[in-house]
Amino acid sequence: MLKLKDGFSGERALVVPQVIVKMMKEDPLVSMLHITDIGYYPKARHHYRERREPINQYVFIYCTDGAGRYRVGEHTYNVSANQYFILPAGIPHAYAADDTNPWTIYWIHFKGELAFYYAQGALAPLDILPEKHSRISDRIALFEEMFNTLKSGYSNENLRYVSSLFHYYLGSLRFLQQFRQAKAGATNDTNMVTVAIHYMKENLEKHLSLQDMAKQVEYSPSHFSQLFKKETGHTPLAYFNLLKIHQACYLLDTTDMKANQICYKIGIEDAYYFSRLFSKLMGMSPQKYRQTKKG
């Protein structure tokens, strides 16, 4: 059985059983790098963890929204949206969400002979800022693939596949520019609308204002909105909502996530508002949509 944690609204978390961790340590492929715990905490108010007794795992935390802080030994660091860090194994540490602007985080505990090399240089927060060639949505999709594969079972093939994905995931961070440039040729469009839509897709889990979008393409909000609607037929904020609901449909189709979990994944904290917006755009509730698809 999979062990799931309880806690924050909209959270998803999975702890790999110790018997499976032992199996991974004995597999020549998986032993090099493997996940022991993985999860996602949206708007994790009052989230706090202190480990005075060090653990033998590295702790990866990727803050996509809000802010937090962490302490390693005698050093304290602040972390904000679009930053990640990796806590070293074997050293006491503590971390917490900001009191007034709590973080949304993806987190992974991991081990293996190669773990140290991926963690090097990541003790202080490192930026993953949305920009023209950023691939934040690709990386989030990788996380979901690892999570869902582990959730589906602990077969040798699943464990090896997740380990392979995790190499790629950490590589996309450690070699950030190479990861972005590898796809830059396919996204070299400088059209204002194309750039704006890419920015929206990179920030689906957040609330963006018209001013945020206009700033990204260096237009005034009114001029940006006018040009965007002329080309797409939608205002920027309406189009952003369409992208969010499109992603919600994908998650309803491909995962067993509940509506109150999916809403956080598209940057909507109020499950009732999410349901109303979904019904308005799709003509049915999220629950009805899932039932229709299953039928």
Topology at the third CATH level for domain 189-294: Arc Repressor Mutant, subunit A (1.10.10)
Residues of the chain with CATH 2.60.120.280: 12-181
CA within 13 Å, CB half, 126: 18
Q: What is the pLDDT of residues 145-154, one digit of tens each?
A: 999 999 999 9
User: Quick check: 292 pLDDT over 90?
Assistant: no
CATH number (2.30.30.100, 3.40.630.30, 2.60.120.280, 3.60.21.10) of 12-181 reads 2.60.120.280
Give the span between the Cα atoms of 195 and 99, in whole angstroms: 34
Tens digits of per-residue pLDDT, 43-54?
A: 999 999 999 999
- Average pLDDT for residues 133-141, to the nearest whole number? 92
Q: Is the pLDDT of residue 236 over 90?
A: yes
In the chain, list all ranges with CATH 1.10.10.60.
189-294
Nearby residues of 177 by Cβ (< 8 Å), 6 or more positions away: none
Which of 7-21, 28-42, 72-86, 100-114 comes out lowest in average pLDDT?
7-21
pLDDT of residue 294: 61
Which pair of structure tokens corresponds to residue 292?
């229709």
Whether pLDDT at 4 is above 90: no
Query: Model confidence at 181, in pLDDT bands (50, 70, 90)?
Result: confident
| Statement: the pTM of the whole predicted model exceeds 0.95 | no
SS3 category, 209: coil
**What is the overall mean pLDDT for the chain?**
92
* Each residue's pLDDT tens digit, 197-225: 999 999 999 999 999 999 999 899 999 99
CA-nearest of 46, 165, 173 to 100 is 46
Q: Answer whether residue 38 shows pLDDT above 80.
A: yes
Quick: pLDDT tens for 80-113: 999 999 999 999 999 999 999 999 999 999 999 9
Percent share of the chain, pLDDT over 90: 84
Whether the predicted pLDDT of 132 surpasses 80: yes
**Of 293 and 104, more confident:** 104
Residue 3 pLDDT level (bands cut at 50, 70, 90): very low
User: How far is 243 from 14, CA to CA, in rounded Å?
Assistant: 28
Q: What pLDDT is attached to residue 2?
A: 39
Residue 245 pLDDT > 50, yes or no?
yes
**Which of 103, 109, 108 lies closest to 143 in space, CA to CA?**
108
Q: Is the pLDDT of residue 295 over 80?
A: no
Average pLDDT score over residue span 3-21? 79
